[in-house]
Chains A and B, each alone.
Chain A
Amino acid sequence: MADSEMIMTGAEMVLKALAEHGVKHVFGYPGGAVLPIYDEFFQQDKVKHILVRHEQGATHMAEGYARSNGKCGVALATSGPGATNCVTGLMDALADSIPMVLFTGQVPTHLIGSDAFQECDTVGITRPCTKQNWLVKDVNDLARIIHEAFYVATTGRPGPVVVDIPKDVQFAKGTYTPKDGVIIKSYQPQTKPDAKAIEAAIAMIASAKKPVLYTGGGVINSGPKASKLLREFVELTGIPITSTLMGLGAYPASGKEWLGMLGMHGTYEANMAMHDCDVMINVGARFDDRITGRLDAFSPHSRKIHIDIDPSSINKVVRAHVPVIADVAAALEAMIAAWKAHKHGLDHAVLKAWKAEIQKWKDVDCLKYRQSKDVIMPQYAVQRLYELTKNRETYITTEVGQHQMWAAQFYRFEEPNRWMTSGGLGTMGYGLPAAVGVQAAHPKALVVDIAGDASVQMTMQEFSTAIQYNLPIKIMILNNHYMGMVRQWQQLLHGNRMSESYSDSLPDFVKLAEAMGGQGVHCDKPADLDSAIMKMIETPGPVIFNCEVANLANCFPMIPSGKAHNEMLLGADITDEEVGTAIDAKGKQLV
């Protein structure tokens, strides 16, 4: 390419770099400080811009997009309020390790520091919620920085990054640097496992009597190959497997060794297996407090193997006897090879005894709930959604609350990347825009946001984005007229005083959908549920399904705050009295 072809404006560089990185969609919102970039969008057709209704929506769309197709999500916002509106999405992506590049406009360099109109310290505000961020002061650095940004966002432990570009830099002409050969000397994440660590891990597993695999979002982040290898490893060893909220789908819910999700609202069998195991193999999870429960009683008898790409995850919360710092796929590949090379095999009789113990826990049937003929139980609604969508290419997103946990418990995921939820940050308002992002990545698939009546109102306006781009997302609101999860905690902790947790003045969601140009579906009877779900699926375009469910249902099983895995509250037959006294004074101080 002639040198003169590499001379261009900063705004042109942004578009050229996006094309070079294979970016197909950008979720954004214009404003004064990014108008030069918008002018470039107007003059090209390689990258599609999706106009959101609020910048937070753009960031969650980028997250949903990234999580569902393994690529980097890209968002764009103007300076000042545009940038600050993105903070929630950045933090969400940081907490869940989602690759995202956010471009923000900034006031011209000579005005920085003068409290100019729509100026804010974007790199300062976003520093703690990004993996790295850059303020670009010289147009000749811009292309290199964008390449570094994509590299940092997508490698190692993925995460969000911000590139802040002053308006004069967007107008200025400079030389474009192609992406090849960009390296960051100080940043070289380790992806290949140490051979000795693999040997130690394998030896420990081979000696186990009660092994359990505890897998997390790292398996999903590592890519489809990691899920394949995980399945192979389970097949090879016969070890029972559970997963965090973020890791659902890496191992199929129909798989022989599946224990269900673990943690605060995980299954009895998964949590009891974690508590009683003698060797725990953590694959790409991080011993989050929602998983461990009371730490000093967490899996007291086990030796622990911890596979993670981020060295700071090792020994952060729980001590690992064998740390393996590596990409999950690389570690599993090495473990499978070593297992086969040693002709290892677990003692059948011993493993059988362990599985018999597990079977007893399974027989408790911890997810059972009281069915009703008159009202739709929320669990039942998710079960029916699963049955009616399992044979399609279906992607599920959620908001945050009880409905999210019921979705995790009752929707059965067979494949990775089909499940997008806000795990680490727990951001209400994530699911609807995330669904828009997923649908942009998979135009033909069925994308359903399992929502709560309170959460969905946080980013409701993005339904209009879905209408504009004809992205036929389906919003299934499990409408219990409460901030159910808040109400549940008030029942557990605060004498059932439902302070401000009733969803008063709810909109008529059906009319709301229609007012925005979509379709609404309503159902409040169990007998009509299937046909309502089918109507939601078969109605073309974006649909809001207001599914009226039992108002006071609680989400069980549950490890109450401050309790151990083997102190779970089981749901079906629990009395209000038991719920009200389940948490002691110390536990009440916890989140």
Chain B
Amino acid sequence: MNAHQQATGSAYFIDTTKKVVETHTLAVVAANQPGVLARIIGLFAGRGYNIDSLTVSETEHEKHVSRFTIVTSGTASVVAQIKAQLDRMVLVHSVEDLTVQGNFLARELAMVKVSGQGDKRVEALRLADAFRARVVDASTESFVFELTGKPDKVDQFISLMVPLGLVEVARTGVAAISRGPDAMKI
């Protein structure tokens, strides 16, 4: 998608070539009601915004709220527009741009299946150890590694496993939270 070229909302030409595309991580707290996920995804699809990663889960059962972590990319004005569009949704409590606030933690879990025998198998295990990946399943010709970390660490691990017999990957997408004592307002 070319969000950085279109999402200005105008039918007329705007020179976007010089604008820098940035990646932002947004934390969104919304009422846990039917359709809220569809509405959020529909916003991104309908307006041509990018979703690099999206995770969601109910976080506070009594308050009926869910938390979304959305990694998106676009020019500064597109990202500002994404935030405003999310924030005005009836079921969205609050939106925070963790990238703008700086200083946040982003983690992702991956399960990585590697098949093979001999030296490659030994090398895979050695690298997994270096990455602090755990072996959660093993057979004589395969491992499943579980790895948690920043997305680029996960990327790196996966690319190292390619020549060693990588056959399958499952990733959760990113969950993110700010550092320090303050909590996100709802």
Chain A residues near B (Cβ < 8 Å): 123-124, 127-128, 131-133, 135, 152, 156-157, 184-187, 287, 289, 292-296, 310-312, 314-317, 562, 586, 590-591
Contact = CB atoms under 8 A, between A and B. Distances in A.
10 contacts: A131-B90, A135-B35, A157-B88, A185-B31, A292-B10, A296-B13, A311-B84, A312-B87, A562-B12, A586-B13
Chain A interface main SS type: loop
Contact of A186 (B8, B15, B92): B92
B15 A312 contact: no
B38 interface: yes
Given A128-B42, A186-B30, A186-B31, A289 B12 contact: yes
Contacts of A296: 12-15
A311 B85 CA distance: 8
Contacts of A591: 11
A460 B81 CA distance: 40
Contacts of A135: 34-35
A46 B35 CA distance: 34
Contact of B91 (A132, A295, A316, A586): A132
Interface in B25-48: 30-31, 34-35, 38-39, 42, 46
Contacts of A310: 88
A152 B90 contact: yes
Interface in B108-139: none
Contact of A187 (B38, B81, B90): B90
Given A127-B35, A296-B14, A311-B87, A186 B9 contact: no
A186 B90 contact: yes
Determine the interface band of chain B, counting residues with CB < 8 A from chain A.
Answer: 20 to 34
B84 A123 contact: no
Contacts of B9: 316-317
B107 interface: no
Nearest to A131: B90
A315 B81 contact: yes
A156 B81 CA distance: 18
A129 to B, nearest CB: 10
Contacts of B15: 296
Q: Which 10 A-B pairs have the closest CB atoms?
A: A312-B84, A289-B11, A132-B90, A186-B93, A187-B90, A295-B12, A316-B9, A317-B10, A311-B84, A312-B85
Interface string B138-177: 0000000000000000000000000000000000000000
A131 B90 CA distance: 8
B51 interface: no
B93 to A, nearest CB: 4
Nearest to A156: B88
Nearest to A318: B10
B80 interface: yes
Contacts of B8: 295, 316-317
Given A124-B38, A127-B39, A312 B81 contact: yes
A84 B92 CA distance: 27
B77 interface: yes
B91 A127 contact: no
A312 B81 CA distance: 6
Between B10, B80, B84, the greatest number of chain A beta carbons within 10 A of the residue's beta carbon is seen for: B10
Contacts of A562: 12-13
A294 B13 contact: yes
Contact of A185 (B14, B80, B81, B93): B93
A36 B88 CA distance: 35
B12 A293 contact: yes
Contact of B88 (A128, A185, A312, A586): A312
A296 B12 CA distance: 9
Nearest to B33: A134
Nearest to A135: B34
A157 B46 CA distance: 20
B19 to A, nearest CB: 13
Between B13, B15, B38, B42, the greatest number of chain A beta carbons within 10 A of the residue's beta carbon is seen for: B13
Nearest to B85: A312
B4 to A, nearest CB: 15
Given A562-B13, A586-B13, A311 B38 contact: no
